[in-house]
């Protein structure tokens, strides 16, 4: 099927072809792996039971891919005998599959975490590991790459999305965009917001409400406890959606299928951005760009970086905000460079 003009426009900020996911390592394939490697993996997760369910799923997938590669390419070479050279071959294999730098870094960090467990716990207890060293350490860092150019969503684009969604009576979509662009919460945090937010009393002179606690990104079961500032604009569209949805539920962002009402899934935002918002703006939009857009817009408005980092970005280190989330172009300042 030929690409239409709209789809070509949406791809215009693509810097590289998105990589395909590695094939799933099925239980049958996993059972082909050296038994000691399977038992070691099982022990690792039993000891690290504090990991969040989502992290465990990611880690299990990474472990399975690594040890299945060891099974096929290294002929089940025992992990105590695996060298840095071997691991560089594994990174090269991931490169050949077009994996992104973030995906490769995750797979490397998971294997490194297992190696640390061996060094810290098994080194003095198991003879095979007496001289074991973490073979992922001391290797060249994985170069960063980007699949898409990060272009912030401007005020004009924000208004276009809101107006289009309201015109199409997609009130939940408008509410989601208003929260994502104004509040700066991540997609999994947005889905946790409850309708009780609309009942919070706004003190005189205050132009926002502080949300209830939501679970933020983190490797532990509890993650990071966060409260977000929800401004009047976001509240306006949340209220519009709740008044129009026609049913009660404690969560704001929900879907009704048959007679079942559920909180939106984590993947809902991905599909909404790719299928709806990208076509409205004529360029590729993903959920992650909203946080950067919110932060960048506030910084452009002159809000202090320290305040934005602490209360909007919810970062412990201000450098994280400035390095990864500030998408300002500084055109006015750059025009002053050459006299």
* CA trace torsion 194, 255, 248, 312 (10° rounding): 20
Q: Shortest CA distance to 81 belongs to which of 125, 23, 37, 15?
A: 37
The segment(s) of the chain belonging to CATH 1.10.443.10 are: 155-334
The model's pTM: 0.75
Span 73-97, mean pLDDT? 96
**pLDDT cut 70: percent of the chain above it:** 90
Classify domain 155-334 by CATH number.
1.10.443.10
pLDDT in tens, 58-83: 999 999 999 999 999 999 999 999 99
Q: How far apart are CA 275 and CA 279, in angstroms?
A: 7
Residues 6+ apart with CB under 8 A from 211: 193, 197, 227, 228, 229, 230
Q: Of 50, 69, 99, 27, which is closest to residue 223 (Cα–Cα)? A: 50
Of the ranges 122-126, 149-153, 296-300, which is most confident? 296-300
**Where exactly does CATH 1.10.150 map onto the chain?**
19-129
Encode pLDDT of 113-125 as tens digits. 999 999 999 988 8
Domain 19-129 sits in CATH at 1.10.150
């Amino acid at each position: 099927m030929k690409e239409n003009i709209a789809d070509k426009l949406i791809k215009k900020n693509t810097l590289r072809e998105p990589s395909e996911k590695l094939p799933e390592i099925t239980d049958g394939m996993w059972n082909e792996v050296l038994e000691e490697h399977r038992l070691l993996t099982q022990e690792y997760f039993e000891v690290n039971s504090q990991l969040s369910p989502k992290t465990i799923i990611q880690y299990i997938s990474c472990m399975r891919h690594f040890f299945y590669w060891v099974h096929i390419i290294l002929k089940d070479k025992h992990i105590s005998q695996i060298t840095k050279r071997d691991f560089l071959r594994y990174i090269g294999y991931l490169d050949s599959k077009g994996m992104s730098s973030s995906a490769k870094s995750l797979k490397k960090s998971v294997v490194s975490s297992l190696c640390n467990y061996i060094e810290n716990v098994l080194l003095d207890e198991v003879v095979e590991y007496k001289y074991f060293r973490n073979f992922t350490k001391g290797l060249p860092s994985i170069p960063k790459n980007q699949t898409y150019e990060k272009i912030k969503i401007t005020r004009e684009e924000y208004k276009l999305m809101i107006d289009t969604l309201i015109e199409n009576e997609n009130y939940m979509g408008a509410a989601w965009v208003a929260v994502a662009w104004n509040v700066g919460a991540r997609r999994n945090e947005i889905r946790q917001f409850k309708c009780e937010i609309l009942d919070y009393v706004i003190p005189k002179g205050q132009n926002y409400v502080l949300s209830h606690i939501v679970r933020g990104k983190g490797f532990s079961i509890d993650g990071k406890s966060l409260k977000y500032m929800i401004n009047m604009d976001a509240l306006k569209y949340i209220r519009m959606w709740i008044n129009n949805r026609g049913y009660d539920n404690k969560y704001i962002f929900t879907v009704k299928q048959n007679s079942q009402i559920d909180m939106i899934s984590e993947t809902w935002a991905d599909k909404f951005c790719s299928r709806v918002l990208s076509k409205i703006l004529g360029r590729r939009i993903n959920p992650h760009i909203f946080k950067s857009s919110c932060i960048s817009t506030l910084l452009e408005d002159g809000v202090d970086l320290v305040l934005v980092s602490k209360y909007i970005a919810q970062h412990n280190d201000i450098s994280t905000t400035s390095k990864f989330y500030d998408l300002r172009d500084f055109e006015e300042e750059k025009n002053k460079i050459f006299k």
